Structure 1
Amino acid sequence: MSNTEIQLTRHVAATPTKVWAVLTDLDAAATMLTGVIGTERITGDGYAVGTRWRETRKMLGKEATEEMWVAEVEPEHRTVVKANSRGADYTTSFTLAPNGAGTDLSMTFTADPDRSSFLARVLMKVFGRLGAKATEKMMAQDLRDIAAAAEAS
Structure 2
Amino acid sequence: MAGHIIHVHTTIPAPPDQVWDVITDVAHAGDVLRSVSDSELLTEGTYDVGTTWRERRTLFGHHGPEQLQVVESEPPRRTVVEAEVGHDVIRTAYRLTPSGPDATGTRLAMTTTVEMSHRSALSRAMWSMFGGFSYDRTRKVLEHDLEDIEAEACRRATTP
Please give the TM-score of this superposition, normalised by the length of structure 1.
0.91
1:81-139 Cα shifts (integer Å, max 9, x gaps): 00111211111000000001200000000011034533541342233101111110000
Please, which moves more after superposition, 33-42 or 74-83? Answer: 33-42
SS of the residue corresponding to residue 37 of structure 2 reads strand
Which structure has the highest strand share of the two? 1
Letter in 1 for 2:43: T
Who is 2:128 aligned against?
Answer: 125
Decide whether aligned partners of structure 1 residues 58 and 112 sit closer, same or farther in structure 2, where only a CA change above 3 A counts.
closer
Counterparts in 2 of 1:60 and 1:87: CA distance versus 1, 3 Å: closer
Count residues in correspondence: 153
- 2:153 aligned residue: 150
Moved more, 143-152 or 118-127: 118-127
Q: Distance in 2 between matches of 1:134 and 1:89?
A: 18
Of residues 104, 107, 110 in structure 2, which corresponds to 1:104? Answer: 107
1:16 partner letter:
P
Q: Which amino acid aligns with 1:149?
A: E
- Identity, in percent, stands at 37
Q: Distance in 2 between the 1:75 and 1:62 partners?
A: 29
Specify the code of the residue in structure 1 equivalent to 2:80: V
Q: Provide the residue aligned with 1:140 in structure 2.
A: 143
Deviates more, 1:55-64 or 1:93-102: 55-64
Deviates more, 1:55-64 or 1:99-108: 55-64
User: What is aligned with 1:6?
Assistant: 6
Q: Give 2:153's aligned amino acid.
A: A
What SS class does the counterpart of residue 45 from structure 1 fall into?
coil
In the aligned structure 2, how far is the partner of 1:122 from the partner of 1:65? 26
Instruction: Say which SS state the counterpart of residue 45 (structure 2) adopts.
Output: coil
* Matching residue's letter, 1:90: I
Please say which of residues 58-67 and 73-82 is displaced more in the overlay: 58-67
Q: Please report the RMSD computed on the Cα atoms of aligned residues, expressed in angstroms.
A: 2.1
Structure 2 residue runs without a partner (length 5+): none
Matched, 1:42 2:45: no
**Structure 1 residues 32 and 85, CA, compared in 2 at 3 Å: closer, same or farther?**
same
